[in-house]
Amino acid sequence: MIDAMTRKPLCISTDGTAGPYIMLPVCQLHDVREVLDTNDINYWVEEEVISLDGAPEVAVVNLGKQAEIAAIQAVLDRVR
C-alpha cells in the first residue's frame, strides 16, 4: 500500500517502546483498517490525529507488542 502523502510504501515503524505502529494520512485510515480487518490483524487507532506545519492530518495505528511485523508488512505490500 502506498502512502498518499509521500508516495512511498506504508511501513511499520518500531521506534520507541510502545510497540509497532503505522503512521498514515487520515484519508487512508478507512482503507488500512479494512485491510487489517480482512486479514484478522489486531490493532487500535489512536484517538488523536496530528498535523505538523499545516500538513494533512496523520493517524497512528498501533499493532501491539505481539504483532508479527513481517507478516503484517507483507499484507500491506500486497495492496495496490
- Which amino acid would we find at residue 70? A
Q: What is the pTM of this model?
A: 0.90
CB contact at 8 A, 27 and 4: yes
Higher pLDDT, 17 or 27: 27
Q: Is the pLDDT score of 16 beyond 90? A: no
CB contact at 8 A, 57 and 25: yes
